Every structure is written in structure tokens, then in C-alpha cells.
Structure 1
Amino acid sequence: MTTALAAALCVAGASASLAQDAPAPVQNAPAAKVTAATTPPKLLIMIAVDQFSADLFAQYRGHFTGGLARLASGVVFPSGYQAHGATETCPGHSTILTGSHPSRTGIIANNYFDLSTPRADKRLYCAEDESVADTASGSGKYAPSVKHLLVPTLGDLMKARDPKAQVVSVAGKDRAAIMMGGHQADELMWLFPGGLTSYRGITLSPTATQAGTAIAAAIAQSRPGLTLPADCAAQDIAIPIGDKGGTVGTGRLARDGGDFRRFMASPEADGAVLAAGAALRQARKLGEGDTTDLLILGLSATDYVGHGTGTEGTEMCLQMAGLDRELGDFFARLDATGIDYAVALTADHGGHDLPERNRQNAWPAAERVDPALGPDALGKAVAEKLGLPQPLLYGDAPFGDFYLSKALTPAQRKAAMAEITTRLRAHHQVEAVVTGEELAAHPVSKRAPDVWNLMDKLRASYNAARSGDFIVVLKPRVTPIPESGLGYVATHGSVWDYDRRVPMLFWRKGLAGFEQPNAVMTVDILPTLASLIGLPVDMTKIDGRCLDLISGPESSCR
């Protein structure tokens, strides 16, 4: 148990005074053979592990002994899909509890561009309110908001049915808490250097404030490196990165006091979120009332580790062991309450290792992207050749959505598109260039996600009001980071399955476990959980379907 988790659990104990009128915990009676077909659980717990790919789950599954081992004994869909093409954090989280692809949620990327905005850079963050004065889309400069999410979440639907239903969302990142928490959450917060924070103008509850204070104290303390388990020894190989003698692959997740970034890239961050969630559950008596409540937990450390050191070094091995342990501690605390709870766990996207290690491990063709493919460099080159006004192109990366300047005449626009697409399609690192018009004419696929073609994937991320004039797709295993450096060596976001495939795990006491290897989607989670609690869902307004969680002739889908 990490120090931050232990401290925050103490906060939960202190907060018990807020729940003096709570009924005594229900003792764990023998479970019915098919609980899910009879009585709705009193508490739903949705856990999203950022960048927890299906590959990571498969690689470490045999080593789990804690919380992930418990979930792996339940109903397991090892081939879950974030089916869309824009496999980034914000779009992925927007699918988990809405039942809808990004084309419907409107969350097409972490950042997109609105060329009509008065902002000089025209960029909008997925979870901000750009109308707030003196804000910008850059980190720490925006006003967090749910306004860009165009559809309701499971929590929103639960509260619409019964206002007494409680919804609490806690995450490592603001966009995770916001996209899963939705528009009506009772409490919604995320980690920051001072502990926990929420929307501007929102005062945290006493329990959240106390938990945040404990977390801030943990962040302020230095931490020695973790002991490397024997299971991780084979991955203890230094991989040179950058041009300053740096390496990754042999780290032990040590950090100096006050180093928030390194705190986030450790199991301690996940433990802090889980502990805060446990404290809020106790204080608010979640799962102890007359209706079903929802606790949402976004665990971000795996993503920070993946970006900073890759997916195959000792750093990720230590993170997987820590995540398993922290989840086990969390479930043990819940078990002690006797509450009937059901858990779903998935990820917002997958991820891929850094190319330098890929080249050592049997994939010599892995490479970093050519800087000339970036929107600024490409736009400048084309504008200078054709004599067009600058900036010509807007985009957030050398792949994904690209936007042409609105200052162009129709003739200039046609000439620019022809020149840009010719250059891109001739580049050896580019798989495809697809226009918005082409995607608008392509229907959203109803097929299983493992057989989707490129257009299907891109269409599920396409929203006519927000997507680019064209979308650039890089070839497999081209990492869209031109230069490696300490802190950012690997990423995700592609249309390829290593970024799309995620595990989907469901667990409830008394629910017989089984494994279904066929492809399912994260948009299936909302209708599955809604059916579990008898919540009607208009299936014409979502993209997912209910997954039957009962092995045998009975069904949890009703």
C-alpha cells in the first residue's frame, strides 16, 4: 500500500463522522448463483486505466495476484475495442459511459481547431470552456468544462431517472473525470500538484479537501526507487534515447519531493485516486441508499509511464504490479462494507512501445515521424511554393485532423489541397489521406470492430462540425514524435489495433466468470451496465449494444 493511499484512507476514516447515520454494513451472505439476473447492484464502479492496452493485459495477466486477478476471474472480453481511429485520451474516455463513438459525442481528439474562434492559435481543448475570458487551450491555461461533450453519460441517465442516485467521478486527469462523469455528477475532481481540484468556482467537499491535503503531502515527499520483482528482471535493459546520453528501460520510479510529473507516473497516483474514491464512497454512503449509485475512477499512471519510458521496460513492469496491488487494496476495503457492487474496467486506448526498443526486439522497421509532416512545416512549405497566405494549415500533430485556413479563396483552397495531398500521399510514412467530404458520405459501421476498414475507423471519429478538412493516417509503427527525449518517448493515437484494442472486464460477487474472445466495443459498456440496473436506454441514440454477462440461458440484457 503506497503512502498516499494509506494517508487518504486515514482521511476516509476521519470522514466516517459524516456518515454516522449510515446503516450497519451488510454481512457477506452466500451469493445467489445468478445475482446479475435478479437484483440490481447497489453500487456500480467504472474504472478506466489510461493506456491499458489489450497487449499489456495479455502480457501481465499471468502475473496478477491482486485486483486485476479478481477482475480477470470475472467476465472477460480480451478483445475490446476503442473502435474509432482517433485513439487519444479524451475521445476514448468519451465512449466509455456514453455508448457512443466520438462522431456522436463530439470529442474527436484531445485538441481540435475552430478557425472561427478569436483565439490566435484557434485550438480548443476537448474539456474546456473557451468562452471564459483570458483562457487558452494550453496546459493550465484553460477553464475545464464538460460543454464539448454532446451526449449524456450513464450517470446523467441515472440521475434523470432518479435524482437521488449519486454520481462521483475521480481521476488522474481532468478529461478522464469529465468525459466519464458527464453533466450532472455530484462530485467531480482530478489530481493536480496541490492534491485534488475541480471546475473553477467549485468548492470541494470536506472529504475531498481532506483527501487532497493528504495527496498533496504525499506529492511533496521524495520516494526511493521501488524494488524490482524477479518477474521484471528480463526487462531491465537500458534503451538509449535522444542525443544527451539519456536512457529508459531500467527505471525504478524514484522521484524527488514535489515532482508532480513523476508522481503521476507511478502506482502512487493510482492509489491516490482509489483512496479518494473510497473516502468519498464512505462519506456519501454510496451504495447504501434506495437506488444504485455510480463511482467513476480514472487511473492515469499507466499512460504517464507509457509516454515517458515506453511499454516494455522495468518502469511498466513495476506499474503493472503496483496497479494490481492498489486495485486489490481498494476492493478489499469495499468488500468490508458488505455492499453489493459491480465493477467494469477498461481503457481509453491502447499504446505502443518506443521505436528504439522495437528495433531491438524484432521490429527493425519501427521509426519516428519525419518532422516535415507536421502541419506547421508542411503548411509553410506549400504556402511558400504557391504564394498563399500563412498560416495555411492548422493541426495538433503530424497525423489526424488538418484544417485549411479560412482566408483562402476557393481557387487557392483547391490548389492547396492538391499540393498537400500529393506531397502526403507520396511520403513513405503516410498510409492514407482522407477528406472530410469522403468521411461524411461514409456510414458509421455496424460490423464487428475487428473487421473495420480504414474508412470505418476514421468515420467513427468524424464529426462534421469539428473534424478537419482532411485526416492523415501514418503507416503502422511510425511513432508521431519526431525526436525522443526524457519524458516523452512513445505515444498512441493511430488507427492500428495496438492503439485500438483494450480489455473489458466485468466482476460482481456471485457472477460466474467466463471469457468471450470475440470483438466487442467500449461503447457497449453503457447499455450493459444500464441493463444491469434496469435503466432504459434509447438504443437509437447510441452506438453500442448490451453484452450478456451471464453464462448460460439467462441473460443480463433486458
Structure 2
Amino acid sequence: MIKLRGALILFLLLLVVFRLSSCATQKPKLVLFISIDQLRYDYLTRFSKYFGDNGFNLFFKDGANFTNAQFKHSVTKTSAGHAVISTGTHANVNGVIANRWYDRQQKSSVSSVGDDSFSLIASDRDGRSPHYLLAATIGDELKKSKGEKSKVVSISYKSTSAILMGGKDADAVYWFVDSLFTTSKYYLDELPNWVKDFNSSGRIKSYFGKTWDRILSDSVYNIQGPDDVEFVEDVAGLGRTFPHTVDGGKSSITESYFHAFRISPFGSEVLEEFVEQVIVHEELGQRDAVDILWVGFSSNDWIGHIYGPDSPEVMDMVIRTDRVLEKLFDFVDEKIGLNQCTIVLTSDHGIPALPELIANKNNDTSPGRINRAMVIEVIDGALSEKFGLLASAESWVSYVSASNIYLNRIALQEKSLSVSEAEQIVIPALSDMGCFQALYTHSQLENGDIEGELGEKALLSFFPGRSGDVFFQLKENWLFHGPTGTNHGSPWKYNVHVPLLFYGSGIKPGVYEEAVSIADVAPTVAQIIKVAMSGEVQGRVLDVALK
């Protein structure tokens, strides 16, 4: 009897251990990826005392917080960042070097998701698809592994974010155009009825004339800079200071209103409502399969560009985003159960302060602004002085954008010059401008003939068929931008240091201070859902945070 009782106890213990082990390795029903456009990591510490219980604090209390997660590439643009998050690769592999680049065959700039072969549904805007993306996303790998059993859906206000997160094999990808959520015929032949119903519900138009004011008392925002800054522009009738009326500066609804709506916190509120509808109608996380849902909050980015990271507007937007996340997590918990999900939160890039504010605070720095016209003027002047004025072309430059300068082949042919001969004049002329930290030629990058950390970052942003003849990196606190607002794109800490937070199924809670890459997101999640990442994956599995 004693032996029998002992055997029974041993059996029960083994059963408990087996079940605990099974729970620990059980795959989630839903992987929820959240990308908050232009969310610097320091926002989470700077504004933490104003967060609710279950927004960002869901991760801080019961999740994994990687405090030193950074992008490793140079061109910190939206498209490039989202491609890194979703594929675990950089532009030198996935081909997405920036939001736009110059196509020499088409002799024009192209969008990272532009594709005239696939028109939009219910819109005459330019076609869209992921055909420029050369690496598989984690969603693509899931679809390859599980087929129709699993669903992949991606949503954002920006087509670039939604498409480059969702990938080539997503079941549905939605973004905002004009006054509605839509997609391209690459993904769907027509919008589902529930999307049509949402678009026609009047929800988006219901915010016309509403006021965006501080959600907390005015004094709380004193930790930020002044509300009225000279180098902030009135965009879409919102005005430069609180309160901001969301009407587009018009007495009736026009395109200007939809612009103002997108760059207000109300845009994020409606996006969250749309996400809830996606979960319900696609039954995400509610079937016998692993699903992936990508959500890209874009309004934060537009607000940051206009007002800057030290503005009361950015602080208010982050606090409001925390409320939106809490609402979304409550809904997911009700419909699926948070314990049945793995949630990942990160961002595609950060943002620098307005250079004029930096100069006011620190006389030892010399921040500044340059723009496309200034760069072209210097190059045209230097090459014309050396080789003579052009007769066949207006400029020696075809295009300048996102660290890439494309020299005009017609101009070079007229003067019987090689690209390398022109580069020998261009590089010194640009160096004399005093705003560039580093300048590289196409051949240097193609041959890997560069050194140092900045050089390594440049290599990760280089793709031979798409990058320019000259690649530049700005000095710290310099912007490639117009006379107001701010912009990202350089490899400095304020642009590359972003949150990386995990929560839920398969995650070991804790604060992890080791240096990690945002390219680690996709392979880590692939490990959780037991999906193999094919091709050249540059990220690694963050085993330290996995159960």
C-alpha cells in the first residue's frame, strides 16, 4: 500500500511538471505587434509617472523591458525601421533603404511601397504593394509554415508602415487614405463589408471641430519646453500652441480636416477602434491557430515632426497613447485573454530636438539645418566651376534624399565624366559645408572599404541597386529638413534608441540592460511561435527573456 501510494504521488508530481512545462512552451493564440512611430525610449522614463496601470505599465510590471535596444543602421526612416522590425534584416539585405529613393530606369523617385500594378480600392491614389521588400517578414514565414490556418493582418495610418510590417503574404493590410481605411488590390479584390461599414459610420468625421487640449493640468507639462516656439509651423489649421482645434482651419470638412485629424490624438483613438473591429471580424486569436496582428500608430510621428520632442504636444500625445494602449489591452483580454497572447511594443525610429532649442540651451554645440536645395547648389557650383556649365541638363544632380545623392548621368555624359571623377569634386565640396560627419562613395560602400561604427551603420543602409552615388551622415544635432519642425534619418542615439518591450505567453519578465538590436524582434518571436526564419537573418533570438 505504501509503495502504491508513493507511486501515485510520483505520478501526480510528474503530471504537474508535464502540464507546467506544456504551459510554459505553449504557443500564443495571437502575436500582437505594436509599433508607435517615433517613440523615443526616454519618453517612457520621462513621462512614466503619468501612465495608467495597464498601458505601458503592463510591460513594466509583468513584461520584459530591454532598456538598451537600438537600430544598427544609418538611415533611420519609417520604411527602413519597419522592414527591420518585421524581417530581422537591414536594408543591405531587405532592400528598403529609405521611404523613397531614385530609380534610374524610371528616372524618378519611387516609394518603398509604390507599385502601379496594384491600384487602391476606393481611391485613385498611387498603387501600393510590398514588391520592393526583398526579405520575408515573420508573418510571411508563419503563412509559409501554417498556410491558411493562421492569419496575418497589418494596420496603420501609413501605407509604408502597414505594408512593410504585414509583408507579401498577409491576409489583409489596411491603411488610411483621404477619409477612409483601404488597401490595394495586391491584398484584396474589394473591402470587406465590415470595413465599408466602419468607413461609412461617420466615426472619422465625428471629430470635426473638436479641441485637442492637455489631458492633464497645465503645470504638469512644465517639464517640457515652452509651448510657443518660433520654429514650429501651423499645420492644417491646428495652430502652434494649445488648444488645437481639429477642423483643418475650415468651416466645413475638407481634405485639410482629415490631415489635421491624422496628426492629432484623435487619429490614434479611431485607429484603436478599427483594430478592435479587425479582431472581431477576422476572429484573430480566437481559432485553433497562431495569428499575427500588426498595429502601427502613426499620429505620434506627425506630431513629433511638427512640435518636436520637447514640446507639451509630444508629452500629451505619449500620455494619451498610454490610455489608448490600455483600452486596446482590455479589449484583447476580454476577447482572447492576455495570457493567450504575446505582445511586442517598439518603434521605427526616434527624433532629434529642434536645433534652435539645442543652441539656446548649450552654447558649446553648433546644430543646424540643411535641405535638398542647399546640397544641390553646392554640387552644381563645384562641378560647373571645374567642368563648365551644362547645356543638356539643369543640374548635375538627379535626386537627393535620406542620405543618398544621385548624380545626373546625362550631365556626366555631356562632359564625358565618370562617376568617380565627379565624386572627387563632390566629396570635398560637401565637406566644406561643415554639416557632414561622414561622406562615402558608392564604390566605397559596395566594396566595404570603410571603418568604424558609423561606417558599419552606413553599410547596413546600403543596397547597390538602389543607393546613391554619394552617401552622407550628418553631424549630431543637424537636420536634413525645412526651416521649421524636426526630422529623423541620422544614426545618432536620439534616432536609434527606442523601446523594446515584450509581454505575455513565452516571456520571462524582467529588466534587461544588455545592448540589443531591433533586428532581434522577428527571430525572437519566431522562436516563441516555433517558426523558422529563412534567408539571411541578421538579428538573434533574445533567449534571456524567454521562458
TM-score where L is the length of structure 2: 0.85
Q: Does 1:393 align with 2:397?
A: yes
Q: Which moved more, 1:468-477 or 1:382-391?
A: 382-391
> What per-residue deviation string (whole Å, max 9, x for no partner) do you get for residues 42-86 of structure 1?
000001111011232232233321411212321001221121001
- Give 1:308 deviation, angstroms: 1.1
2: distance between equivalents of 1:261 and 1:34? 51
Contact persistence 1:402–1:470 (CA under 8 A)? yes
Q: Which one has the largest radius of gyration?
A: 2
Q: 1:247 to 1:233 in 2, by over 3 A?
A: farther
Q: Indicate the residue corresponding to 2:443 in structure 1.
A: 437
Contact persistence 1:101–1:461 (CA under 8 A)? yes
Write the letter of the residue equivalent to 1:266.
Answer: S
Q: Indicate the residue corresponding to 2:6 in structure 1.
A: none
Q: Does 1:323 align with 2:312?
A: no
Q: Indicate the residue corresponding to 1:314 in structure 2.
A: 312
Q: 1:371 to 1:152 in 2, by over 3 A?
A: closer
Q: Indicate the residue corresponding to 1:64 in structure 2.
A: 51
Q: Indicate the residue corresponding to 2:428 in structure 1.
A: 422
2: distance between equivalents of 1:277 and 1:377? 46
> Superposition RMSD on alpha carbons, in Å?
2.9
Q: Does 1:182 align with 2:167?
A: yes
Contact persistence 1:238–1:248 (CA under 8 A)? no
1: distance between equivalents of 2:461 and 2:70? 13
> What per-residue deviation string (whole Å, max 9, x for no partner) do you get for residues 379-411 of structure 1?
4323432224533113334x6011112222463
1: distance between equivalents of 2:207 and 2:509? 42
Write the letter of the residue equivalent to 2:35.
Answer: A
- Give 1:412 deviation, angstroms: 5.0
Write the letter of the residue equivalent to 1:316.
Answer: V
2: distance between equivalents of 1:196 and 1:355? 36
- Give 1:365 deviation, angstroms: 3.0
Q: Indicate the residue corresponding to 1:499 in structure 2.
A: 495
Q: Does 1:88 align with 2:77?
A: yes
2: distance between equivalents of 1:140 and 1:515? 47
2: distance between equivalents of 1:218 and 1:70? 32
Pick the aligned partner of 2:86 from 84, 97, 116. Answer: 97
> What per-residue deviation string (whole Å, max 9, x for no partner) do you get for residues 498-536 of structure 1?
111111000116854201112111111111111111112
Q: Indicate the residue corresponding to 1:128 in structure 2.
A: 114
Contact persistence 2:383–2:426 (CA under 8 A)? no
Q: 1:183 to 1:262 in 2, by over 3 A?
A: same
2: distance between equivalents of 1:162 and 1:87? 33
2: distance between equivalents of 1:79 and 1:175? 26
3-state SS of 1:162 partner: helix
Give unpaired runs (5+ residues) of structure 2.
1-18, 248-252
3-state SS of 1:369 partner: strand
Identity of aligned residues (%): 25
Q: 1:548 to 1:315 in 2, by over 3 A?
A: same
2: distance between equivalents of 1:514 and 1:215? 43
Q: 1:309 to 1:35 in 2, by over 3 A?
A: farther
- Give 1:242 deviation, angstroms: 7.1
Q: Indicate the residue corresponding to 2:409 in structure 1.
A: 406
3-state SS of 2:35 partner: strand
1: distance between equivalents of 2:521 and 2:23? 15
Q: Indicate the residue corresponding to 2:293 in structure 1.
A: 295
Pick the aligned partner of 1:146 from 115, 130, 139. Answer: 130
Q: Indicate the residue corresponding to 2:38 in structure 1.
A: 51
Q: 1:367 to 1:431 in 2, by over 3 A?
A: same
Contact persistence 2:51–2:57 (CA under 8 A)? yes
Pick the aligned partner of 2:527 from 504, 508, 531. Answer: 531
- Give 1:286 deviation, angstroms: 0.9
> What per-residue deviation string (whole Å, max 9, x for no partner) do you get for residues 121-146 of structure 1?
x211111015679x9xxx98531111
Q: Does 1:522 align with 2:518?
A: yes
Write the letter of the residue equivalent to 2:437.
Answer: E
> What per-residue deviation string (whole Å, max 9, x for no partner) do you get for residues 10-52 of structure 1?
xxxxxxxxxxxxxxxxxxxxxx988874200000000111101
2: distance between equivalents of 1:228 and 1:419? 54
Write the letter of the residue equivalent to 1:148.
Answer: Y
Write the letter of the residue equivalent to 2:400.
Answer: D
Q: 1:418 to 1:528 in 2, by over 3 A?
A: same
Q: Does 1:252 align with 2:243?
A: yes
Write the letter of the residue equivalent to 1:151.
Answer: A
- Give 1:460 deviation, angstroms: 0.5
> What per-residue deviation string (whole Å, max 9, x for no partner) do you get for residues 139-162 of structure 1?
985311111001111111111111
3-state SS of 1:433 partner: strand
The equivalences for 1:333-482 within 5 A come to 333-339=331-337, 340-362=340-362, 365-371=365-371, 374-385=374-385, 386-387=387-388, 388=390, 389-390=392-393, 391-397=395-401, 400-407=403-410, 408-409=412-413, 411=417, 413-442=419-448, 453-482=453-482
Contact persistence 1:368–1:482 (CA under 8 A)? no
The number of equivalent residue pairs is 502
> What per-residue deviation string (whole Å, max 9, x for no partner) do you get for residues 471-499 of structure 1?
01111101222412xxxx11100111111
- Give 1:307 deviation, angstroms: 0.6
Contact persistence 2:232–2:306 (CA under 8 A)? no
Superposed structure 1 runs of 4+ greater than 4 Å apart: 32-36, 130-133, 246-249, 509-512
- Give 1:371 deviation, angstroms: 4.7
- Give 1:232 deviation, angstroms: 1.7
Write the letter of the residue equivalent to 1:292.
Answer: V
Q: Which moved more, 1:172-181 or 1:50-59?
A: 50-59
Q: Does 1:541 align with 2:544?
A: no
2: distance between equivalents of 1:197 and 1:205? 10
3-state SS of 1:526 partner: helix
Q: 1:537 to 1:491 in 2, by over 3 A?
A: same
Q: 1:431 to 1:541 in 2, by over 3 A?
A: same
Give unpaired runs (5+ residues) of structure 1.
1-31, 446-451
